[in-house]
Every structure is written in structure tokens, then in C-alpha cells.
Amino acid sequence: MISHSPRKRFGQNFLQDDQIIQRIINAISPTIKQHLVEIGPGKGALTEYLLKYNCQLDIIELDNDLFKMLVEELSSFEQLQIYNQDILQFDFNQLQPIPLRIIGNLPYNISTQLLFYLLDYVHLVQDMTFMLQKEVVERLIAVPSTSEYGRLSVVLQYHYQIYKLFDVEPEAFWPPPKVQSSIVQLIPYSIPPVKIINQQHFNKIVTAAFSKRRKTLRNNLKDILNIEIIQEVGIDPQIRGEALTLIEFAQLSNQFTLQNS
Ligand code: SAM
């Protein structure tokens, strides 16, 4: 076992519970021909299990010391490639073959930023299985008119089918995080659940609609579009963004696109 003191700035909470590790691996169920990518392998708690499946595996670790230790311990595995990089700058296009199965017990301090970053590579992905803060998973699967529902829910639910698998208690890690954790699986849609003509317009409208949660849609969108557009798609401008379904956001965005083309 690698000796290393956990670094808070890298969100290091290492898995130490073999039963939980096995449950995560079972949820992934890798097969020999698949190409897996692990974000933040740390001391290799998940990596060592994944290697038993003989699948192609790329692991990306930011911490230089952990990277060196991983190279020392695991470089004899031919099917394994180890990268010492910031995942928020990592170019997934360099990985072949596709599709990729991306997994990780993610550093919680960058998890939402990373989920948005990975949207640029959604076309390469078969599925993603992540350990995240429970609160973030609840936001991912949230329905309209709840306090958890926001930009993360709407944008990610447009791209992925999202399944919460199970919760993980803090004792499963060392050091134990101050928050509850959950395992979530995201599977990109081959056909999106709604039609969006212009992604940039959609992103802009969703971001603005949630910019001030307590304000009405009319107020939050006033710098972007006319109130008439909101009424034309049959939405009350006085409601808040959090009341809109994905379909309504798509309708609003498409109407905006049509009037600006
Ligand atoms: N997979 C290990 C486990 O389950 O025990 C470690 C998980 S720990 C929660 C997160 C890991 O991500 C750490 O090893 C940390 O150094 C690494 N990490 C943090 N920020 C990163 C980044 N921007 N890019 C790549 N790895 C990062």
C-alpha cells in the first residue's frame, strides 16, 4: 500500500472500504475489450481492481507524488497508461479507441466544474460512473420546482440519462469527508430527449434563468430576450426559472433562435 498524507487542496479522500470498492466495480462491470478512464486514481484503490479485468485503462492524476507512486507500483501493466495532468485541461480526444467508460471517486472541490467540462467530450463517452457529494447527485437528478433543481440539472439531464445507484457513508474513506457521498451513473443519450436548435442559446437562457433564483423569469431574462417570446411559448413570465421543465427551456430557446436567425 502506498504511503501518502492526504492533501485537502486536491480533494483527497481515499476509499478504504473493500465492500464499497467492490460494489462500485460491480456497478461498472468492465469487460476485456472496453476502454476505461479513471479520473483521480489517488493511491489506486479502484485502479487495482479495474486492472484485474484486463481492460484498457487510462488514469489521470494531478498530484505529482501520487503520480510517481502509481508509476512505481503499476507501470508493469501493459494495458495501463498513467498521466500526470489536471483533468480540467485533459484532452480526451487523444484517447483511442472510443467509446470511453469514464469513472472516478472525484475530487469534490471541482466536481461540478468537471461535469460541465466533460460535456465537451460527450460524443466519446459510453457511460460515466462517479462518486460525488450526495448533494451534487441530488442536484443532477432534481425535478422542477425543488430547491435542488438548477442549471446543473437542466443541462446535464439534456445530455444524459442519470441514475443514482447508492449512498456511501463518510467512514468508507480516509480521511472521512464532512459530507455524504453517492454513486451516480450518467449515460449519454443517442437521441436527446428534446430538440434544441442552438446549444449556445439554450445554455445562455438556462444560465440566466437561474442567475438569481428568487427573481422571476421575466427579470432574469430581460437582458437577453423580449417578454413576448416567453408568452409566445405559453410560459407565464412571472414564474421563476426553477419551475420550467427541460421541454419548456427547449421551447423557449428554440423560439429565441428562430427570432434571431
Ligand atoms: N480514486 C482514489 C480513491 O478512491 O481512493 C482517490 C480519490 S480522491 C477523492 C480524488 C483524487 O483526485 C485524488 O487522488 C486527487 O489527487 C485527484 N485530483 C484532484 N484534483 C485533480 C485534478 N484536477 N485532476 C486530476 N486529478 C485530481
pLDDT tens digits for range 97-136 = 999 999 999 999 999 999 999 999 999 999 999 999 999 9
Share of the chain above pLDDT 90, in %: 95
Over residues 134-163, mean pLDDT = 98
* Residue with CA closest to ligand 1 atom 21: 62
Over residues 62-82, mean pLDDT = 97
Q: If pLDDT is split at 50, 70 and 90, which confidence band does 2 have?
A: low
- pLDDT for the residue 102: 98
Ligand 1 pocket test, pick from 2, 87, 174, 182 with the greatest ligand atom count within 8 Å of Cβ, gives 87
**Same topology for domains 8-188 and 199-259, yes or no?**
no
Ligand 1 pocket test, pick from 105, 108, 131 with the greatest ligand atom count within 8 Å of Cβ, gives 105
Domain 8-188 = CATH 3.40.50.150? yes
Q: Which CATH superfamily is domain 199-259 in?
A: rRNA adenine dimethylase, C-terminal domain (1.10.8.100)
What is the atom index within ligand 1 of the atom nearest the CA of 60? Answer: 25
Expressed in angstroms and rounded, the spacing between residue 102 Cα and the centre of ligand 1 is 14
pLDDT tens digits for range 191-208 = 999 999 999 999 999 999
Query: Over 80: is that where the pLDDT of 38 sits?
Result: yes
Expressed in angstroms and rounded, the spacing between residue 101 Cα and the centre of ligand 1 is 17
Which residues, judged by CB distance below 6 Å to any ligand atom, belong to the binding site of ligand 1?
10-15, 40-43, 45-46, 60-63, 66, 86-88, 105, 107, 110
Query: Over 80: is that where the pLDDT of 86 sits?
Result: yes
**What is the residue extent of each domain of the chain?**
8-188, 199-259
- pLDDT for the residue 177: 96
Crossing angle for the helix pair 199-209 and 246-259, to the nearest 10 degrees: 120
Over residues 224-234, mean pLDDT = 93
- pLDDT for the residue 4: 81
Q: If pLDDT is split at 50, 70 and 90, which confidence band does 261 have?
A: confident
Query: Over 70: is that where the pLDDT of 5 sits?
Result: yes
